[in-house]
Amino acid sequence: MKYRLFLIILSFTFSLSSYSQRVIQAEQLAYAKRNIDNIANGNSAYKALLRNADKELATVIVPITEKTIVAGSGDKHDYVSMGPYWWPDSTRADGLPYIRKDGQRNPEILKLDRYKIDKLTKGVNILSYAYYFSGEDKYAYKAVDMLRIWFLNDETKMNPNLNYAQMILGHNNNKGRGAGIIDTYSFVEMIDCIEFLAKSSAMKKKDLDGIKKWFSDFTEWLITSDLGQNERKAKNNHGTAYDIQVAAYALFTGKTDIAKEYISTFAENRIFQQIESDGKQPLELERTIALHYSIFNIEHMMDMCNLGKSVGVNIYNSTSTDNRSISKAIEFIVPYLGKSQKDFPYQQIKEWDLNQQKLCWLIRRASMFKKDKAYDKLFDQYINTKPSDIKWLLYAK
């Protein structure tokens, strides 16, 4: 199928020296910092950020090497996780092979490495934002210590691969799956936060060089491994998230040709393939938590829009000849904002109210790409996120 792109490509001649905030735009954060007393909930969010950062100062990062269940390689440095929606088969004595219960997380995943990454990235991000907004070095020093544990120290660092990510017990000899690559998606925002730290006295040149080397190796694994190639073929949010990880890490490590390839083809390869002309995302709507996944995929697409924006590529306004676009996808789900769960003609078996708030923030982000007073009005009408939430700073208007 061929598409005519309404796509503006301003320039793609950029160098590593031009690297700047991408998923959360630098100018957006600068605006929030300048206007913290005037933006909605600015002071409340800032004070909460510092309180949370102070708590992170006492956080102990559990390294990937500390675990009782080791990857099939026998190497504790190898990341290992389990497919979140897979459970023991109650009809079998040993529970094997595991069976799928979409949208229902098996608590066994807590025994592995998945939530260690969440703890790491959450901590680094909070500390980095606290350093950015306050200028206090103590936050940067703690964040850099966390990064050294996970990426640099020989005794504790993670190997730059996901060969055992989202394994399913009783399947494929307990090896990883391409789907497991989404486990490291939170690294995308984290490497943006590293730019703050790189300007601090806490991060030495050898630290930054070492982290970039790790992500360079990881990018190579993503592109060349069988699991990486498998995930690149995914036609739903997994394929979207894969492209964004590769592009973000390539930008971070100076692999500009790779970044150019993934950013410039994203609209045709992902947006136009996953979104119908009426805005439906069929592969997300078939899930048991359809509203969540519809929002989730668009959020990722917006992350790629910010990556594109930082290098002069306008992805958000890309539209196919039959009107497939990010805007169409948002228009499809916006009518369910402020509605009850029974008004949604698809499955959403949990967290309806939470996803209502996610939808509010989604249209706030959309209004930053394309001014829309209607979206601003809807946001003001339905938002009830706590004033302490950091999103009031990240998406300030």
The string of pLDDT tens digits covering residues 350-389 is 999 999 999 999 999 999 998 889 999 999 999 999 999 9
Residue 299: name the closest of 355, 383, 247 by CA: 355
Would 248 be classed as within a structural domain?
Answer: yes
Residue 130: name the closest of 38, 85, 196, 218 by CA: 196
Q: Which pLDDT band, with edges at 50, 70 and 90, does 310 fall under?
A: confident
Two tokens at 354? 């939470």
Under 8 Å CB-to-CB from 230, ≥6 apart: which residues?
Answer: 177, 178
Under 8 Å CB-to-CB from 38, ≥6 apart: which residues?
Answer: none
Task: Give the separation between CA 123 and CA 60, rounded to whole angstroms.
Answer: 10
Task: Give the separation between CA 186 and CA 126, rounded to whole angstroms.
Answer: 13
The string of pLDDT tens digits covering residues 60-70 is 999 999 998 89
Question: Would you tell me how many other CB atoms lie within 10 Å of the CB of residue 22?
Answer: 24
Would 3 be classed as within a structural domain?
Answer: no
Would 1 be classed as within a structural domain?
Answer: no
Would 104 be classed as within a structural domain?
Answer: yes
The string of pLDDT tens digits covering residues 312-359 is 999 999 999 999 999 999 999 999 999 999 999 999 999 999 999 999
| CATH number reported for the structural domain that contains residue 153 in this entry | 1.50.10.100
Q: Are strands 8-9 and 86-87 parallel, antiparallel or unpaired?
A: unpaired
Chain centroid to CA 138: how far? 26
Would 273 be classed as within a structural domain?
Answer: yes
Would 2 be classed as within a structural domain?
Answer: no
End-to-end CA distance of the chain: 39
Task: Give the separation between CA 143 and CA 122, rounded to whole angstroms.
Answer: 10
Given a contact cutoff of 8 angstroms between Cβ atoms, the answer to whether 160 and 222 are in contact is no
**What is the domain range of residue 56?**
8-394
Residue with tokens 């004595």: 93
Per-residue pLDDT, averaged over 7-27, amounts to: 53
- How many separate domains does the chain show? 1
What is the pLDDT at residue 135?
97
The string of pLDDT tens digits covering residues 192-224 is 999 999 999 999 999 999 999 999 999 999 999
The string of pLDDT tens digits covering residues 244-281 is 999 999 999 999 999 999 999 999 999 999 999 999 99
What is the pLDDT at residue 269?
98
The string of pLDDT tens digits covering residues 110-144 is 889 999 999 999 999 999 999 999 999 999 999 99
**What single-letter DSSP state applies at residue 323?**
-
The string of pLDDT tens digits covering residues 33-47 is 999 999 999 999 999
- Cis bond upstream, residue 97 (ω within 30): yes
Would 232 be classed as within a structural domain?
Answer: yes
Beta bridge partners of 9: 313
Residue 22: name the closest of 309, 391, 364, 395 by CA: 309
Two tokens at 123? 């901590």
Question: Would you tell me how many other CB atoms lie within 10 Å of the CB of residue 206?
Answer: 9
